[in-house]
Amino acid sequence: MIQQKLVSIVVPLFNEEESLVPLTEWIQKVMSKHQLDYEVLLIDDGSKDGSWNVIESICSDNKNIKAIKFLRNYGKSAALNVGFEEVKGDVIITMDADLQDSPEEVPELVDMIRQDGFDLVSGWKKKRYDPKFSKNLPSKVYNWAARKISGIQLHDFNCGLKAYHYNVIKNIEVYGEMHRYIPVIAKNAGFANIGEKVVSHQARKFGVTKFGYERFINGFLDLLSLSFIGKFGKRPMHFFGAIGFLSTLSGFFILGYLAFSKIMWSIENIDDRPLFFLGMLLVIVGIQLFIAGFLAELIIRNSTERNNYKIDKTLL
């Protein structure tokens, strides 16, 4: 149940034992300074180092901090989705555990949700301390493509520092690797009042990044998937059926033309002509697309919960 004037901070983490104490102390300092009631939910995504031991110590010292540990590594989207299910605050903040996101930004993000009425506010790391060619340049290309396809004018879709109204996180589902596109998911769910705030970016102090180059390919594929789902997720027959209808109609038109030609002009061996095979192919493909549309309609009407994660331990 929602608790008004409570800020919930969700922190997904994987092998971040060195950064957890300074991060939680930093959060506590900022929240106390601004007199904000808060809870922190640390989601240990199956860490293999000593992260959970550190978390247990932190939770015993600060009752505002809670934690969940996955049995194995599921990914950032899974951690966020489980965190969203547990939080109770009217404003939810997400940030990474590597100290590259500054808790000093939290009070202003909270005000943008509570006072300015935004559904979601995304951070923009305008000045970054990442390698230029391996991260910054690909990130610019990726964000340009995301803006063009989604229609959402954000500069930094993948920034981990974001703020949400309670209603947003309780009405969206984050799965696979869709954490990059939560603003797109929120927009598709009807939450279109999306803002942006320039935030400071800190250089990584401990460990190494957990994301490789494949995130750019996966991210682009996820964006195409979300774009399709946003338009046709609830009505797949409109997509497959339309293409199937045009394909079948074109095939029948070609076959009708060949049949007319044979009858009127006595053309022989029309079944040896490439146009005949094209017509047959279009009819077959069109029928298959119709079938795909019907199956998709049946699936979405009988789908069950897709997110089922094995939780090892909890400190709630």
Both tokens of 275, joined, read 């146009």
**Which value, to the nearest 10 degrees, does the dihedral of the CA atoms of residues 78, 83, 86, 88 take?**
-150
Kindly report, residue by residue over 239-269, the tens digit of the pLDDT: 888 889 999 999 999 999 888 888 887 766 7
What integer pLDDT is reported at residue 96 of this predicted model? 93
Mean pLDDT of 47-76: 94
Query: Residue 170 pLDDT more than 70?
Result: yes
Query: Residue 274 pLDDT more than 80?
Result: yes
**Chain Cα centroid distance, residue 125:** 18
Kindly report, residue by residue over 83-137, the tens digit of the pLDDT: 999 999 999 999 999 999 999 999 999 999 999 999 999 999 887 766 665 566 7
What integer pLDDT is reported at residue 234 of this predicted model? 66
Mean pLDDT of 200-204: 74
CA angle 57, 61, 67 (to 5 degrees): 60
What integer pLDDT is reported at residue 50 of this predicted model? 93
Mean pLDDT of 196-202: 88
**Low-confidence winner among 11-25, 112-126, 169-183 (lowest mean pLDDT):** 169-183
**pLDDT band at 178; cut points 50, 70, 90:** confident
How far is it, in rounded angstroms, from Cα 88 to Cα 38? 10
Report helix, strand and coil shares of the chain as percent, to nearest 5.
Answer: 50, 15, 30
What integer pLDDT is reported at residue 136 of this predicted model? 67
Q: Which residue shows structure tokens 């969940």?
A: 68
Q: Mean of the per-residue pLDDT values for the chain?
A: 86
Contacts of residue 245, defined as CB under 8 A and 6 or more positions apart, other chains included, come to 286, 290
What integer pLDDT is reported at residue 179 of this predicted model? 86
